[in-house]
Each structure stands twice: as C-alpha cells, then as structure tokens.
Amino acid sequence: MAYAITQSCCKDASCVSVCPVDCIHPTPDEPDFGTAEILYVDPQVCIDCGACADACPVAAPKAIDLLRGSEAQFAQLNAAYFEQRPERESPQTHTWDEMGGDLVRPLSIAIVGTGPAAAYAARELLLSTDAKITMIDRLPVPGGLVRGGVAPDHTDTKKFAELFHWAYKHPRTKMVMNVEVGRDISHEDVLQHHDAVIYGVGARRDRELGVPGEDMAGVYAGPDVVGWYNGALDIDTAGVVLAGDRVVVVGNGNVALDLARLLLHDPAVLARTDMPDHAVRAFRDLDVREVVLLGRRGPSAAAFTRPELLMMPPGIDVVVARDEFTEGELAEAEPDSNAAALAALPLVDVDLTAPPSERRRLVFAFGRQVVSVEGEQRVEAVQVAPSGIPEQAVTVPCGTLIRATGHRGTPVPGLPFDEETATVPNESGRVVDPATGQPVPGTYVVGWIKRGATGGIGTNRACAHETIATIIADANTGRIAPPPRQRRAFGAFVRMRVDHVVGRRRMLAIEKAEEKRGAREGRPRVKFESVDEMLKVSPVTPVH
C-alpha cells in the first residue's frame, strides 16, 4: 500500500529528508522543485514505511487505500508525475541539508515576525547553532500567515502552527509580542541588544487596479478580506461588508479560489472551523450564488495550483466562460498544465450581464478586465471588457468586487526598499544598501520581504536555510560585530518604551483561552477579535 501526497502539501520537503528509498520528488536540488505545485510519491518505489506522513507538518502524505472523496484523485496524480519522468538521477546527499559549519562564537539574534518565514528561520538557528533568539511581533499572538492567511477550512495546512510552536517555546527563545519595530522601537534599538536582526515581515499590500470607482464601498483588497475572515487584528471587523448574489474577483490564483470556495461554501461547514464569529455570521447571512474570477490573460496563465482546484466542494458548478480566445488556448493546453485542468471543466456560454441562476456556480472568465466600477453608495456593477479593448465593455451586476491580484511588501523603517520588486534589497538574505552596494551591518531578511510574494508556506524553509547559512558565514568571517548592549537587557528596555508587552507565558495563555472557547463549541478555537480582548486574558507578566 503506497502513499500519495495530497492537496495540503506545503513543499517544505521534510518528507524528502526522511524517505529511506528516495521516492519523493522533486527534491529541493532538482530543477522542477521551484515550479512543482506539490511533491509526489513514486508508487513503484514507495515501501509503505509511513516516514513521510510522520514528518509532514500538514499531514499531506496519506496511504492510497485510505483516500476518500475528492482526495482519491491524488493517487493518480502522484503516479502520473513519475510516468512522465521515467528517468531521474537523484543526488546522494542534499545540499540544502548542509548548513556549513559551527559558529565561532555564540550569537544573539532578533527575528522580527512570527509567521512561517520567521519561524523557519528560528528553527534553523535553534537546530543548527547555539544562538539565542528574540522573536518580536506587532501582535499579541504568533503565526503570521498561518493564523491570518490560511483559509479556515484548510485544517491540515493550519497544522503548521504545531511545528512552529516548538520554536516559540524553546528555552533559547524569548518572545516579545505586541511590539512593532518601526513604531514602538527602532531597528537600531533592536541591533543595540543583538548581534543581528532578521526581518520576516511578509507582504501586506495588494496591487490596485487603477480604474475609476475603485475606492467605492464594496470594493476590497484580497488581503483585507482574507484577514477579515481569519480574524486578523489589524482589520476592522466592520470594515468588510460582503453583499450581493454575485461577487466578482479579479485574479485566478489560490487566494481567488479560496475566496470563491468560502463565498459558495455551506455556512454550516465554516461554522465548525476557526473562522471568527463575525465572519461566520456574515457568511451565514450571504446568498452568493455566483462568483466570477476574471483573468486578464488566458487559461495558460492561470495562477492557481491544480490541487487547490481539485478540492472544490461538491454542489458547486465550476465552469469556464466560452469565447474564441479561451477555446483556442484550451485546445492547445499542455499536459499537466493549469490550462489542461481547465479544459476538463465544462465550457459554457455565460451571460454575465444577466442575474445568476439559483445553482451555486464558479465561473472562470479569461481575457477580461475591469475598466470601471459603478454604483451610488456602494458597488452595484462593474464594467468588464476584453483585455485591451475597453470600448467593448459590458455591465456586470455585482454586490462586491475583490482584488486578488497578489501581494506586495511594504517598506521596513530603517532599511532600504526596492519599490519595483517591493522587497528589501539583499544578497542571499543579507540586506544590501543599493546606493553603496555594501551590506547593511547585522541586518537580514527572509520570506516574501526577501524574495517577493511567491511560493507557499513550505517554500520558506529553503529560503530561511539560505539566510541562516549567510548569517553563519558572516559571523565566522567577522562581518557581524558584537552588540554594545546585552540581550538580557532588551526586555526591560522594551517595557520602558511600550505598554502591554506580551511575553511567552501570556501569549500561550491567550492561545489556550481561544482553544477552550472553541472546545465548548466543537471547533479548533474561537478567536478573540481585538487586542483588548486578548490583553484581558491574564495580568501583565514580565517578558519571558
């Protein structure tokens, strides 16, 4: 009974490390690792040891005989990958597992952020060095994208939190929460107490459309809606008001599919997740019957991953809007491409100017773009035209328009920033001043702020590995100077500057309180919806 890797695969390659027969590919050393949607198990080589399932942080590998429902198709998906690649030479050792030497002296390192990139960086340091770590986050609770970005119904993916809590709870880790670097304390303040600082702050901005009416009520950025239905503390619970029987989403990546799935999902299913109560109530009151995903380009440029499409719940019609341009691209779809997955869907004539039918439906509409937004008090319709031909626009009635057009990083106070790439300029994670070409002393980046908003959660493991290897090399060659102040003085310094600093004990107490609230309702957790609610959980305690 072989194993197969399923939709929740995070590509952090923990499974590759433990497989005794090298049957999981592509590995991080292979050329197609960067483009692969998930990793795959070769059923002809797998010995059914289950090591991959034990190692995976998101329970993606599963025994083929136990696959049920929509997951059953992943058995064939895994096998097909190897049928198309019969010849493969694998390296005897994986270079990404080699860190490159011990530290010549102990380091104290601050990590700004507690999301996947930051947490992987912390794990790499704790596992491969004797460094002491201070993790700093602007929120009282950790997790970043895992808490505030993963769709509530992706329960397997949310298991990443368990992996990262090991780093948060480690004896060499100090948690300094509810403190924002750049607002409460400066970059220089952090470096005064640490040998180096790593920024893993993600990418919070979205890409605007730049069309008339875009600032109207009912038009939302994808990251704001995702944060709203995940209980992000920096999103006003009343700031997102979804409405209408049709929602138009600009974009066709995984975030767009998440939005469509949740909007069309059975609210009773969402009520059993960790979706915050305000969002559960809103989805229960909605009557969305159609979600339209608009793509400026054709099916061959669709940005979703096939596993995400395969996991659409039953009872939702998923169709592609017919037109000559789309038909042509689908007819020429490359095997195993997104276009090929779309070619397997019904190709139908869709009149977007008419009211949606009673059946719930997801429509992929390619070669189209929004040219304007119309309405009085809030959006009532959007003008949609073939890409590049605005004079052929038609009026598409809708109650909500969401931009799911990708993420962009925001400038980090005290660091250089490249507006074109929306990243902090760096070389292998080492921050570089573009004006001089010289490294910024003791300053490093990891994750989306380092490489741009590409790759899923697991991609951050290799990214963090590279940054930590750079830090070790810099420390051992004398590029990192000792700080003028000691790390143990940092907690007292922060408490003098910031009210309501949250340390590890209080952070864990907040999370435990959410889990207790959830246990009473048969849910993973019921999230607090404001910082003030969280701060009432326990009295102020010293940073620990």
pLDDT digits (tens, 9 = 90+) for 164-195: 999 999 999 999 999 999 999 999 999 999 99
Examine the domain organization and report whether 160 and 69 are in the same domain: no
pLDDT band at 366; cut points 50, 70, 90:
very high
Residue 511's pLDDT band (boundaries 50, 70, 90)?
very high
Find the angle CA(330)-CA(332)-CA(337) to the nearest 5 degrees.
70
Q: For residue 92, is pLDDT > 70? A: no
Please provide residue 54's backbone torsions phi and psi, each rounded to the nearest 5 degrees.
-70, -35
- Cα dihedral 146, 148, 154, 155 in deg (nearest 10): 70
Q: Kindly report, residue by residue over 31-44, the tens digit of the pLDDT.
A: 888 888 899 999 98
Tell me how many domains the chain contains. Answer: 3
Give dist(CA 265, CA 243) in Å, integer: 15
539 confidence band (pLDDT: 50, 70, 90): low
* Tokens matching residue 243: 């409405």
Q: What's the mean pLDDT in 271-280?
A: 94
CATH at 25: 3.30.70.20
What is the band of 101 on the pLDDT scale with cuts at 50, 70, 90?
Answer: low
Mean pLDDT over the full length of the chain: 91
- Token pair of 516, please? 């207790």
Whether 67 maps to a domain, the answer reads yes
Whether the per-residue pLDDT at 541 is higher than 50: the answer is: no
- Where is 257: in which H helix or E strand? helix 254-264
Structure tokens at 342: 């779309």
Query: Which pLDDT belongs to residue 50?
Result: 87
Identify the pLDDT of residue 462: 87
151 with 232, same domain? no
For residue 477, give every residue at least 6 positions away whose Cβ sits within 8 Å of its Cβ, in sequence order, or none: none
pLDDT at 91: 47
Question: How far is Cα 198 from Cα 424, in angstroms, rounded to an integer?
Answer: 12
Summarised one tens digit per residue, pLDDT across range 375-405 is 999 999 999 999 999 999 999 999 999 999 9
Residue at 540 is within a domain: no
CA torsion 237-239-241-247 (nearest 10°) is -110
Lowest mean pLDDT among 114-118, 155-159, 257-261: 155-159
- The β-bridge partners of 321 are 348
The yes-or-no verdict on residue 330 having pLDDT over 70 is yes
Neighbour order of strands in the sheet with 108-112? 173-177, 132-137, 108-112, 196-199, 438-445, 430-433, 426-427
Residue 157's identity, in one-letter code, is: T
Interatomic CA distance for residues 61 and 493, integer angstroms: 46
Residue at a domain's end among 372, 405, 438: 405
CATH number of the domain that residue 507 is part of: 3.40.50.720
Whether 342 contacts 293, CB under 8 Å: no
User: Rounded mean pLDDT of 291-308?
Assistant: 93
3-state secondary structure of 381: strand
430 with 299, same domain: the answer is no
Same structural domain for residues 215 and 346?
yes
Q: Are residues 134 and 199 in the same domain?
A: yes
Enter the DSSP assignment of 423. B
Q: Are residues 426 and 398 in the same domain?
A: no
Mode of pairing for the β-strands spanning 379-386 and 361-366 = unpaired
Strands 246-250 and 290-295: parallel
User: Distance between CA 111 and CA 133 in Å, rounded?
Assistant: 7
Measured CA angle at 134 (ends 131, 136), to 5 deg: 150
Q: Is 334 part of a structural domain of the chain?
A: yes
Task: Give the pLDDT score at 130.
Answer: 93
> Is there a single domain that holds both residue 392 and residue 529?
no
| Residue 372: CATH number of its domain | 3.50.50.60
At residue 250, φ and ψ (nearest 5 deg) are -90, 115
- Say which range, 118-122, 367-371, 521-525, 539-543, has the weakest mean pLDDT: 539-543
Of 38, 67, 96, which residue sits at a domain end?
Answer: 96
Q: What is the pLDDT of residue 133?
A: 97
pLDDT band at 87 (very low <50, low <70, confident <90, very high): low
194/485 Cα distance (integer angstroms): 8
Domain assignment of residue 156, yes or no: yes
In degrees rounded to 5, what are phi and psi of residue 70?
Answer: -70, -20
Rounded Cα distance, 242 and 279, in Å: 10
Q: Which of 10-19, 362-371, 413-422 has the lowest mean pLDDT?
A: 10-19
Please give the residue that has the higher pLDDT: either 50 or 201: 201
Q: How high is the pLDDT of residue 542?
A: 47
Shared domain for 47 and 132, answered yes or no, is no
pLDDT tier at 336 (50, 70, 90 boundaries)? confident
Q: Which of 40, 59, 39, 71 is nearest to 312 (CA)?
A: 71
The model's confidence at residue 95, banded by pLDDT at 50, 70 and 90, is: very low
Per-residue confidence (pLDDT) for residue 55, from 0 to 100: 87
Distance CA 432, CA 421 (A): 14
Rounded-to-10 torsion of CA 349, 353, 354, 360: 70
In a domain, 306, yes or no: yes
Same domain, 483 and 419: yes
Domain of residue 231, residue span: 209-405
What pLDDT, on a 0 to 100 scale, did the predictor assign at position 89? 57
Which tens digit of pLDDT belongs to each residue from 248-258? 999 999 999 99
Short-list 335, 324, 326, CA closest to 363:
326
Contact 28, 84 (CB under 8 A): no
Question: How high is the pLDDT of residue 222?
Answer: 95
Residue 541 inside a domain? The answer is no
Does 302 share its domain with 417? no
| 103 inside domain | no
CA distance 106 to 87: 45
> End of a domain among 405, 438, 461?
405
What distance, in Å, lies between the first and last C-alpha atoms of the chain? 47
Residue 102 lies in a domain: no
**332 shares a domain with 463:** no
Q: What is the pLDDT of residue 268?
A: 94
CA distances from residue 281 to 242, 278, 286, 360, 445 in whole angstroms, order as listed: 11, 5, 9, 19, 39
Residue 75 shares a structural domain with residue 89: yes
Share of the chain above pLDDT 90, in %: 72
Question: What pLDDT band is residue 10 in, cutting at 50, 70 and 90?
Answer: confident
pLDDT at 119: 95
Question: What pLDDT is attached to residue 232?
Answer: 92
Q: Could you read off the pLDDT of 409-457 as tens digits, one per residue?
A: 999 999 999 999 999 999 999 999 999 999 999 999 999 999 999 888 8
Q: How far is CA 517 from CA 88, 274, 280, 397, 513, in A?
A: 50, 10, 15, 40, 6
**Is residue 295 within 8 Å of residue 386, measured between CB atoms?**
no
Nearest-angstrom CA–CA distance, 50 and 54: 6
CA atoms of 486 and 493, how far apart (whole Å): 11
Q: In sequence order, what are the residues at sequence separation of 6 or more whose Cβ sits closer than 8 angstroms to the Cβ of residue 398?
A: 244, 246, 247, 248, 292, 379, 380, 381, 382
